[in-house]
Amino acid sequence: MEKTYIMLKPDAVQRKFIGNIISRIENKGYNIKQMKMFTLEEEILKEHYSHLVEKPFFPELVEFMTSGPVIGMIIEGDDVVIGMRHLMGPTKWEEANPGTIRGDFANNTTENLIHGSDSVENAMIEIKRFSKYLN
């Protein structure tokens, strides 16, 4: 079955939304295969967000993503990559509909609570990338 890499970001932990978000994933019927809390470092973020390293907001993104622990998860289910992207809502928080995680809780472009792989191919890369933290 398809797998995706999900990460609850430092704001989700700090704002005490992790139970709410995990409930949404469970309610949808997806299986949590692995889950662990850890703290990220700049080096892995340069890899994970390599498409954004040249952006002016990248330093702010690193500061946020290293500001506290995250919860990394491998989630399994039918078409789970696209399904989790729908549960999350779009990147632009102001375009995220109510009922989505970002639509319900995000009020900032950088601090948007959750990461989810954007393709099956990237999901496999990200699961490999974060496996040293998950085990």
In sign, the C-alpha dihedral spanning 101, 107, 112, 118 is positive
Number of residues engaging Mg ion in binding (CB under 5 A): 1
Q: Which one of Mg ion, ligand DAT, none is in contact with 109 (Cβ closer than 5 to 8 A by kind)?
A: ligand DAT
**DSSP three-state, residue 55:** coil
| CB 127 to Mg ion: min, Å | 15
Q: Rounded to whole angstroms, how far apart are CA atoms 84 and 25?
A: 8
Interface region with Mg ion, contact rule CB under 5 A, candidates 13-21, 54-62, 103-111, 112-120: 112-120
Residues that bind ligand DAT (CB under 6 A): 49, 52, 57, 61, 91, 109-110, 112, 115, 118
115 is catalytic: yes
Burial 19-50 (b: 16+ CB within 10 A, else e): eebbebbeeeebeeebeeeeebeeeebeebee
Q: Rounded to whole angstroms, how far apart are CA atoms 66 and 95?
A: 26
The one catalytic residue among 48, 51, 86, 115: 115
| CB 82 to ligand DAT: min, Å | 13
In degrees and rounded to multiples of 5, residue 100 shows phi and psi of: -95, 160
**Nearer Cβ to ligand DAT (50/135):** 50
**Nearer Cβ to Mg ion (23/109):** 109
**Would you name the residues annotated as active-site residues?**
115
